Amino acid sequence: MRNITLAATQMPCSWDIDDNIARAEGLVRQAADTGAQVILLQELFETPYFCLEQDLQYFDMARTLEDSNVVSHFGALANELDVVLPVSYYERAGLTRYNSLAVIDADGSVLTNYRKTHIPQAPGYEEKFYFSPGDTGFQVVETKYGRVGCGVCWDQWFPETARSLVLQGAEILMFPTAIGSEPKKPELDSSGHWRRTMQGHAAANMVPLVASNRVGHETQGETEGQFYGTSFIAGYTGEILADADRVSEAVITASVDLDAANAYRDNWGVFRDRRPNMYQTLRSLDGMTAQNQ
């Protein structure tokens, strides 16, 4: 048996950055106090979700990995608490900017700096204005507690993300998120769809999965966003092991046996029976024209 305790958090964010960092630290400490070893914070928790509208002033918030206060702060906290922390931040690299995730090991070291692959563009989610498409590719890292593979928010809607990570050896999938209302479709509540999509990733790949989302009402210019929380942890057959509500600041935890998940995955035969040579369609955008290697 190789048991591990996973945690997801959720919280509202304000323009008091110090308060956001202190809130997030408090949730991490709470999770660690309950035995959590790998703890997921939500996407871009240092500030409100500034992508509701396009506004040049927010470009100045981007920082290099080395200069990011939030990365260095939570690196020290990971080392203190002996926990693994994927930390989402707004990265500046040269003349461009990325929606990035520094995966911090339990000794405080940054194992990898993942740059979000899929960048959305929709009313209330104007991310293509702020971020370039990630250039790192999907990454899996060996942490103190197991092999972790992460995507960021919009990445979670693509089965290719989860499958690519598990093929590289991920034993745990983690997705920090910022999702809620749709300004042009106020009647739409995507929370159930959001969850079921990722439960499918867990079930199809037979790995546990953690998703962390923010809560609260935020406004930017004339656009309002209501974030619906519902952070959750799924087991390796897709079942919900722990979940949070739509409005509360929260910490949730669940324990999983990674050896049991690995044995189940091997026994089921899905990865044995894959036919990569038959998947050329996936190398095209239009479903017909495969791209050159």
Catalytic positions: 43, 116, 153
Please tell me the total number of residues recorded for the chain in this structure: 293
Report strand pairing: 110-115 vs 172-176: unpaired
Q: Are 273 and 23 in contact (CB under 8 A)?
A: no
Query: How does DSSP assign 191-239, residue by residue?
Result: HHHHHHHHHHHHHHHT--EEEE--EEEEEETTEEEEEE---EEE-TTS-
Tokens of 77: 């906290």
Q: Which residues pair with 206 in a beta bridge?
A: none
Q: Round to whole Å and give the CA distance between 35 and 6.
A: 9
Which residues, including other chains, have CB under 8 Å from residue 27's CB and lie 6 or more apart?
A: 9, 11, 41, 249, 251
Instruction: Mark residue 274 as left, alpha or beta (left: phi above 0; alpha: psi -120 to 50; beta: remaining).
Output: beta
Q: What are the backbone angles phi and psi of residue 174, rounded to the nearest 5°?
A: -135, 135
Q: Which residues pair with 82 in a beta bridge?
A: none
CA-to-CA separations, 159 to 82, 126, 204, 211, 282, in angstroms, rounded: 32, 23, 9, 15, 11
Burial, 276: exposed, middle or buried (Cβ in 10 Å; 0-12, 13-18, 19+)? exposed
